[in-house]
Amino acid sequence: MSDVKKIATRESYGNALAELGAEHKEVVVLDADLAAATKTGVFKKAFPERFIDCGIAESNMMGVAAGLAATGLVPFASSFAMFAAGRAFEQVRNSIGYPNLNVKIGATHAGISVGEDGATHQCNEDIALMRTIPGMVVISPADDVEAKAAVKAAYEHQGPVYLRFGRLAVPVINDRPDYKFELGKGVVLREGKDLTIIATGLPVSNCLEAAEKLAADGIDAKVINIHTIKPLDEELVVAAAKETGKVVTVEEHSVIGGLGSAVCDVLAEKAPTKVLKIGINDTFGESGPAVELIKKYGLDTDSIYQKIKEFSK
C-alpha cells in the first residue's frame, strides 16, 4: 500500500474537532499540555475561547470535563492513551462513568506504534480498562475517514465515549462513497468462506493485505473491521463465526481484555468457535521506530499472514 494516502488518526481527530466546533458551539476541548501532539491545537487555533489547557494534570482534567458536561456543554478531554485511560482511570470511572456524563475522551498515541517514546508511553491496556466501565462506549478507528466519522458519532451519542487514536500514519482504506459509520456496527471489508479475520484500529489495513496473500495460497478469508469494541456487533461476529468456522482477532493492544477478549466472550456463549488472538502478548513494549516495533511484535502484514496460514491448517 505504498501508493495509498496515509494519515495518522490523531491528525484526523484534530481536524474533526475543528469541523465539529464550527457547527456546534457547545463543543469544548480540554488538553493536558499536549495540544501539539494530540492535534487539539487545530481546535485551539480556531476557537481559543472554547479550549482549556489543564496542564500536566490529567486526573484533574477529567474532573473539569465532568463539570462542564454537567452544565450542558460537550467536552472532548484529550491526552495520550497512557494518561487518559491509565493515570486518570479513577476519575474517568467515578466522575464520568458513574454519573454517566456526556464526556468524550480523545486518547492519542495508543499502542506499540508510539515508537521511540518507549514502554511507559505505549499503552496496550487502555481498551481493557475502558471496556470495564459501565456505559462507556469504546471506539478504535482504522483510518482517517473512520476517525473523523467516529468523532462526529461520539458527539451525537449521549453519554461517555472513549476514542482511541494513533501516532503513526496509516493507509486510508475507507475512502469510498458507500462507507457508513454506525456505532456498534462492524464493517465487512472482504467476503470469505474459510475463516474470519476480525480487526480493529491500525492493523486493519495489514489484515486486508494479509487476506490477499492468503488468497494466493487458496485460503479465502473474510475481513471484518470492528471500529466499536463496546458495544460489540455481536450479531455480525456470531454470524461470521458460524459461516467460516474459524476466527482470528487482530489488534494493536494486549491480547488480554481487548478486542480478542470481547469476541471470545461472545463466541463462548453464543457460538463456540476456535479463535486465534493476534496482538501484544502479555508484555511491555520498548523504544524503537514504530514500523520496526510493529514488525517485531507481529502486527505487520507478513507476520499476520504467517500466523493465520498456520492457524488455518
Would you list the DSSP string of 173-240?
A: ---STT----TT--EEEE--SSEEEEE-STTHHHHHHHHHHHHHTT--EEEEE--EEES--HHHHHHH
Question: Count of CB atoms within 10 A of residue 313's CB?
Answer: 5
Do the beta carbons of residue 89 and residue 130 sit within 8 Å? no
C-alpha cell at 149: 466519522
State yes or no: is 235 an active-site residue: no
Give the Cα separation of 19 and 46 in Å (integer): 10
Do the beta carbons of residue 192 and residue 221 sit within 8 Å? yes
- What does R_g of the chain's alpha carbons equal in angstroms? 19
Do the beta carbons of residue 52 and residue 66 sit within 8 Å? no
Q: Provide the residue count of the chain.
A: 313
Cell 466472550, residue? 265
The DSSP 8-state label assigned to residue 54 in this structure reads -
Give the Cα separation of 165 and 111 in Å (integer): 9
Q: Which of 11, 58, 234, 252 is catalytic?
A: 58
Catalytic residues: 58
